[in-house]
Structure 1
Amino acid sequence: MAIEDGSAIPFDAWRLVGGLEVALDVDVLFGAYPDRDGPPGAPEPVLRLLGEHRIRAAAVAGLRAALFDVRSGNDELIAQAGPEVVPVGAVDLRDPIGASRELDRLAGEGVGAVRLFPDEQGVEAGFPSVRHVARHAARLGLVVLTGGDVRRFWQPFAGLGADVVFLDTHFYHLGDFLVAAADEPGFHTSTRLLNSPDALELAAAELGVGRLLYGSRAPHYEPLVPLLRLATSGLKPEEIAAVAGGNAQRLLRRPQS
């Protein structure tokens, strides 16, 4: 776009976002990946980044627990609990027996959700450990947030009646998620990668808007991208508000502000 003197008008994403705020982001990480470039992920700058993007609270998992030491990493994260941070535990899928014990401990500490890191831990959906952890989490009533290709990672959770949020659902794979979730009322998806022109609208039409949760993957992904897509979607204002935190608050049993 150009104005009369021929100069370009800069794109203003925030004008399109308008007054949209996120009550609860379902996909935030503290910590850093040792094998890739990226932000250090310390709590203060991450929370500052969220605030700059009008994200009031987040379900946060720790990369220390996922990649280095499960117990101390989870304890470090639980200590951060507060109005802005809903702690999400992590387990090591390469150690299914230890993972079960850690799930018991997390549930006893009042943690209501666990995040699985199959890609980072080199674990495939068909491994017995994944099904074992999925079953144990379901028995404990824990909400599971999981990475991985939804075309494969829906399978370990099938038939368990579990509440699961698939964090890496790509719009190329949305059809597979929709047909899998049609038979699994506990299946939900993050909107982070649903950036095609009609992905959010299609998912809402097929499954209901209650299955969609805003996720940013901050600070390792740009929070503005899914925020902009949600704000410019064809969803109704009340549906946008549900995706922007209301659904996550309900799922994680967190009082709405």
Structure 2
Amino acid sequence: MAIEDGSGIPFDAWRLVGGLEVALDVDVLFGAYPDRDGPPGAPEQVLRLLGEHRIRAAAVAGLRAALFDVRSGNDEVIAQASPEVAPSDAADLRSPEVLAAGAVDPRTPGVVPVGAVDLRDPLGAARELERLAAEGVRAVRLFPDEQGVEAGFPSVRHVARRAARLGLVVLTGGDVRRFWQPFAGLGASVVFLDTHFYHLGDFLVAAADEPGFHTSTRLLNSPDALELAAAELGADRLLYGSRAPHYEPLVPLLRLATSGLKPEEIAAVAGGNAERLLRRPQS
């Protein structure tokens, strides 16, 4: 991506990204929103987009499960699951310029399936969590905004408790200033996907008492947000998330690459932390 910076000099984002690759993106969706303009989100298109942005694997949930039919939507995502591949075994992902030239095909990014439940049906959601855990799924994603559910609804706390009991990692949307509350005191592993840098302070004080609380870096794009979070909690609480294909993957990638984090911290945020949470069975 090259754009003018106002001085007439092209701004080359990929030059700043350098050799950074993402081992596991924690926030990817298959499917489309029926009430929004946007890409269709077909799996092959999403995986192509990830490959072009040097993303080796992704934790993927399905909008069909979130918006239409939970079970069939989850089964579609589970069917896309990839065998686990050690990072050292993965082929190099090349720059978008090389891919566009047709010189090499990227290795198809791996898929870590993430289940979804309907928070408007807490009893059915609990049953689906049991089924997902039996299928070997290690994470569930909550869509409170899309389903019109608020953090104080009993259904959210019910699902949070059941997910924690099953050892499932929870990936949740929603305003972190409210949605931390249903997970407090459960010992749950939770990744807040919508933490905005305006609300980072609230996340930091909530997460200080909850070692299982993590955040996606997607909206932490202020000049010092990543650095502040790493200094207060440790970089092991930060996970790269793109929300591909409904958000531009390059933005959080560029912010991470140009951050003041140490190289080993950048590698952890770019997939190491997600691997720890999602690739290994939870205790």
- The TM tier, using the shorter chain, reads over 0.9
Q: CA deviation at 1:253?
A: 2.7
Q: Deviations over 1:111-151 (max 9, x none)?
A: 00000000000000000000000000000000000000000
* Distance (whole Å) between structure 1 residues aligned to residue 200 and residue 55 of structure 2: 25
On the 8 A contact 1:57/1:83 being kept in 2, the answer is: no
Q: CA deviation at 1:67?
A: 0.2
CA 16–111 in structure 1, closer or farther in 2 if over 3 Å, else same: same
* Distance (whole Å) between structure 2 residues aligned to residue 3 and residue 229 of structure 1: 16
**Equivalenced residues, count:** 257
On the 8 A contact 2:4/2:10 being kept in 1, the answer is: no
On the 8 A contact 2:142/2:173 being kept in 1, the answer is: yes
Kindly indicate whether residue 274 of structure 2 is the aligned counterpart of residue 248 of structure 1: yes
What SS does the aligned partner of 2:4 have?
coil
What SS does the aligned partner of 1:144 have?
strand
TM-score relative to the length of structure 1: 0.96
* Distance (whole Å) between structure 2 residues aligned to residue 196 and residue 227 of structure 1: 13
- Superposed counterparts of 1:14-93, under 5 Å: 14-83=14-83, 85-93=111-119
CA 114–8 in structure 1, closer or farther in 2 if over 3 Å, else same: same
CA 167–7 in structure 1, closer or farther in 2 if over 3 Å, else same: closer
On the 8 A contact 1:215/1:226 being kept in 2, the answer is: yes
CA RMSD, Structure 1 to Structure 2 (Å): 3.0
CA 205–9 in structure 1, closer or farther in 2 if over 3 Å, else same: same
What SS does the aligned partner of 1:49 have?
helix
- More displaced 10-residue stretch of structure 1: 245-254 or 173-182: 245-254
Q: Deviations over 1:3-55 (max 9, x none)?
A: 99997111100000000000000000000000000000000010000000000
CA 49–255 in structure 1, closer or farther in 2 if over 3 Å, else same: farther
Which consecutive residues of structure 1, in runs of 5 or more, have no partner in the other structure? Answer: none
* Distance (whole Å) between structure 2 residues aligned to residue 121 and residue 51 of structure 1: 30
* Distance (whole Å) between structure 1 residues aligned to residue 264 and residue 14 of structure 2: 20
* Distance (whole Å) between structure 2 residues aligned to residue 221 and residue 209 of structure 1: 23
CA 55–3 in structure 1, closer or farther in 2 if over 3 Å, else same: closer
- More displaced 10-residue stretch of structure 1: 82-91 or 42-51: 82-91
* Distance (whole Å) between structure 2 residues aligned to residue 113 and residue 5 of structure 1: 41
- More displaced 10-residue stretch of structure 1: 1-10 or 218-227: 1-10
TM-score relative to the length of structure 2: 0.87
Q: Deviations over 1:203-233 (max 9, x none)?
A: 0000000000000000000000000000000
What SS does the aligned partner of 1:40 have?
coil
- More displaced 10-residue stretch of structure 1: 80-89 or 228-237: 80-89
* Distance (whole Å) between structure 2 residues aligned to residue 49 and residue 123 of structure 1: 31
What SS does the aligned partner of 1:11 have?
strand
* Distance (whole Å) between structure 1 residues aligned to residue 187 and residue 281 of structure 2: 23
On the 8 A contact 1:29/1:60 being kept in 2, the answer is: yes
Q: CA deviation at 1:104?
A: 0.2
Q: CA deviation at 1:254?
A: 4.7
What SS does the aligned partner of 1:202 have?
helix
What SS does the aligned partner of 1:27 have?
strand
What SS does the aligned partner of 2:41 have?
coil
Which consecutive residues of structure 2, in runs of 5 or more, have no partner in the other structure? Answer: 85-110
CA 201–101 in structure 1, closer or farther in 2 if over 3 Å, else same: same
On the 8 A contact 1:171/1:193 being kept in 2, the answer is: yes
- More displaced 10-residue stretch of structure 1: 132-141 or 75-84: 75-84
Structure 1 moving runs of 4+ over 2 Å: 1-7, 253-257
